[in-house]
Every structure is written in structure tokens, then in C-alpha cells.
Homo-oligomer: A and B are copies of this chain.
Amino acid sequence: MRPLKSLISLDDAKKIIDKNVKLLNRKEKIGIENCLDRVLAVDVKAGFDVPGFDRAAMDGYAVKANDTFGAGQFTPKTLKLIDTIHAGETTKKTIYKGDCIQIATGAALPSGADAVVMVEDTEKEKNKIKIFKPVYPKANVSGRNEDIKKGSIVLRKGDMLNPSKIGMLSALGIPVVYVYAKPKIAVIPTGKEIANLDEKLKEGQVYDINSYTLMSVINGNGGSAVKHDIVEDTFDEIKDAVKSAVNNDMIVLSGGSSVGERDVLFDVIQSLGNVLFHGVQIKPGKPTLFGMIKNKPVFGMPGYPTSCLVNAYVFLLPAVRKMSRLQVKKEKIIKTKISRRVVSTLGRREFLTVKIEKDRAVPVFKESGAITSMANADGYIEIPENVDLIEKDENVEVKLF
């Protein structure tokens, strides 16, 4: 057994990952009904003016503005109603001096008209319309291309498609768009001691937990997880699995957290590429490993479920979001007080799982091997390297899972 030699700091580990994880350039075409939270891979230009015609901005009467000048509450101008345009309709009629046409919001302004009088400022008597308030030319009219000019770039490569940007695509009649593909990320569970969920546990075995927590973190942050079968912690089995997974965009292994098992992974990655770090000054997660094989990032996560999940939030999540071109996640943070005194180790950044109970952060960490250290937690607090004690009722920031 080799001990972990030189541990690196959390900040250095994050920098190494960030330097090596690149934005994915692969594109795919999808329907806009499925493009929520996807990232646009092309600039989008307007193919036509929006609106494509002058239109009424209010319900009312299309008029020549000139015909309304001088109108007042006691001196209405009277115009002749020659037609009605409902929404989506048009008219072939033209407005001449003294005419008006009833018009619905959004409808195209008829030829000859240059303004709309709001319905509130009129009174109807058969086919005569009394106008009680004058309008200036272009009043209550949305001009052609006032909103979007043909040929202008309305959305840019790299924009994340939220509901309002999806609305812009539909305004331009674009039913399918190019977005960046989701990175395919292989998840490889290792170790004879773990069993598939559909198997009966043999003596000394536990179920595969890390595959499911890792897949959730990946799929929830722009990636597309591909689960590999469980492989034994031997050099040859792990090497075969990693080689077969290298056609994905990233590889994540999770397995035994012991020194001996880690060494196997270290040797495999060195034989196929380069290990960039192996061992970080954090707790839990000391044995975390990161390397590159043929330009593909490879993570070796701790085997204990709580360690694995916390490390997935700290290291894997930013890598997945970067590769997916999603902006760095705004962490969901709750500021509160801690329910009891906590001691920590100097010289290591510690991640302590907590639940929120009666507005307090209650530590739930039992030991790295306990599932409840993770499943009962709402998130975790970070205890800096230079702090060895947090007193009861001190303020803490909980990063939510």
C-alpha cells in the first residue's frame, strides 16, 4: 500500500480541473418545444420584420389623424364607419377623408389610415362614430419593424434558452434550432463489494449508490450520464472499462476509497494518459483523483457515498456545467446558525453535511460510510482550513444539495 503522497489544496485542485475541462463544441438540432435550458450553438437572425406591417396597438378606430384635430368632449368630430377588422383579419378598403374603420388590437392598419383612436374616446351611433379626443399621426400604432428589423441578430451563440428567448424563436417562426450537445459522461462503479440494485446482496456487499448520485448530479447540470456495469478493482478490469468509455466526453469512476484501490486507478490512468492530482487537502474526499486521457477529463471519486456526493458538488458539478456551457450555478445558500459545537481538523477544508431544522443547521454527519450522513442532509457547510472549532449558534452558510 502506498500512502497518498503530496496532497494539494482545494483551490489548486479546482484550478487544475478548470484549466483542463474545455467547452464542448458538438452541436445538435432540436425542436423548440424541447430546448428549455439548452445553449444556443448559432447566432439567430431575424428573417423578416416584426411586426411585418403597421398595426393597431389598441382596440379602436383607424382614422386619418388630421380628421380628429379639434375634437373635444363637447365638440366631437363625426366619422363614417366603413368596415370592421377583427384580429387576424385585413380589409381591402381604403380610408379617405371622413372615414374610419373599427380595428382590433394587433390587426394591420388599413390603407389610408395613420392613427388609431381608442374605443374609450368614442361613441357609436349606427354607422357614425363620434370622436371626443384628437390623435396625432402614428398614435396607437406599432410601426412595421419597430420591434425587430429583418437581418438583425436577435439571439447569440452561447445564450441559454429560457422561456423568453424561446418566445423569440417562435416569434420568428423557427421550429428547430442548433444547440450544443449535452456532454456524454461515463459513470463507472468499481469494486467487488458493490452490487447492482436488482441483485441479492452477498455477504459483505452493499448496493451501488454512487452511480445514482453521480448520474443525478450530472443529468441535473447539463450532462447526459451513461452508466457502465460494475467492474472489479483490478488493473486489467478498470483499464478495459476506461478504454471502452473514452469515446464519451468525460469519465467518472467511483469505488473503494482505500489507498490500495486508489493506486490501481492511479496506475490505469497513468498508463493511458496523465494523473494531474491524486489527493486533496479536504475532508471528506482526500483520495479524489483527476487526470486526462486523450483530452478527456477523468475523475476518480471516493467510494464512500457521502464523500462521493460532496466531492461531486465541489469538483464534478462545475466541470459538467462548464463543459455544457451553462453559466456557473448560483449556489443555493441559506444563512443560519449552527445547532451545536463542531470541531474540525486544522489544515484541511472540511465539508460537513447538515439538515435545516427549525431554521438551524443541524449536523447529520455520522461517518463517511453512513448513508444517512448524506440522505438526511439538506446540504453542507464549509469549514475553512484555519478553523478548528465552530461554537453553537455561530452563523454558517449552508450550500443546498
Interface residues of A (CB under 8 A from B): 1, 32-33, 36-37, 48, 50-53, 55, 57, 59, 86-90, 104-108, 119, 142, 146-148, 154-155, 162-175, 191-195, 197-199, 201, 203-213, 215-217, 219-220, 227, 233, 256-261, 303, 305, 309, 312, 330, 332, 366-367, 369-372, 374-375, 377, 401
Contacts and interface: CB of A to CB of B under 8 A. Distances in A.
A156 to B, nearest CB: 11
Contacts of A119: 1, 259
Contacts of A166: 212-213, 216
Contacts of A303: 105-106
A201 B170 CA distance: 12
Number of copies: 2
Contacts of A154: 372, 375
A36 B167 contact: no
30 contacts: A33-B212, A33-B215, A36-B220, A51-B206, A57-B369, A86-B233, A87-B256, A88-B191, A88-B205, A89-B192, A104-B258, A104-B260, A106-B206, A107-B193, A119-B259, A146-B370, A147-B369, A147-B370, A154-B372, A162-B401, A163-B212, A163-B217, A163-B220, A164-B377, A166-B212, A167-B210, A167-B371, A169-B212, A170-B208, A175-B198
B212 A170 contact: yes
Given A33-B215, A370-B147, A167 B375 contact: yes
A57 B305 contact: no
A375 B170 contact: no
B212 A197 contact: no
Given A104-B256, A167-B209, 15 more contacts: A36-B216, A50-B371, A59-B260, A90-B203, A105-B257, A106-B206, A106-B258, A108-B203, A142-B370, A148-B372, A154-B372, A167-B212, A167-B371, A170-B207, A171-B209
Contacts of A89: 192-193, 204
A370 B170 CA distance: 13
Contacts of A401: 162-164
